Amino acid sequence: MGLSISNSLANAATGAANTGTAAARAPQTDVNNSEDTVKLTAPQQVVQLYNQGQSISQIASTLSLPVQTVNTYLGITSDRG
């Protein structure tokens, strides 16, 4: 499962607001411009979700990862022994 952040919707909204025409305000089809899209790796997704306040168990569930993998990506170690 990957997260994708795109700037194309924000640009479409700005363009519609600036032109004021009915055609400009009509919904646009989803255009995926590669220069506007960022693909995050699993470790980056983990850090982003953690910084947004999600718990480790929520992140593990959302990304279908083991809790230990999420901990590893966050640099959390458990010293049991």
Instruction: Print pLDDT tens along the chain (81 aa).
Output: 555 555 544 455 455 455 555 555 666 666 666 678 889 999 999 999 999 999 999 999 999 999 999 999 999 987 665
Query: Is residue 54 domain-shared with residue 81, that is, in the same domain?
Result: yes
Total count of domains within the chain:
2
Query: Is residue 15 domain-shared with residue 51, that is, in the same domain?
Result: no
Query: Is residue 22 domain-shared with residue 47, that is, in the same domain?
Result: no
d(CA 17, CA 11): 10
Percentages (nearest 5) of helix, strand, coil residues in the chain: 55, 5, 35
Query: Is residue 78 domain-shared with residue 44, that is, in the same domain?
Result: yes
Which residues form the domain of 62? 40-81
Query: Is residue 50 domain-shared with residue 64, that is, in the same domain?
Result: yes
Query: Is residue 17 domain-shared with residue 52, that is, in the same domain?
Result: no
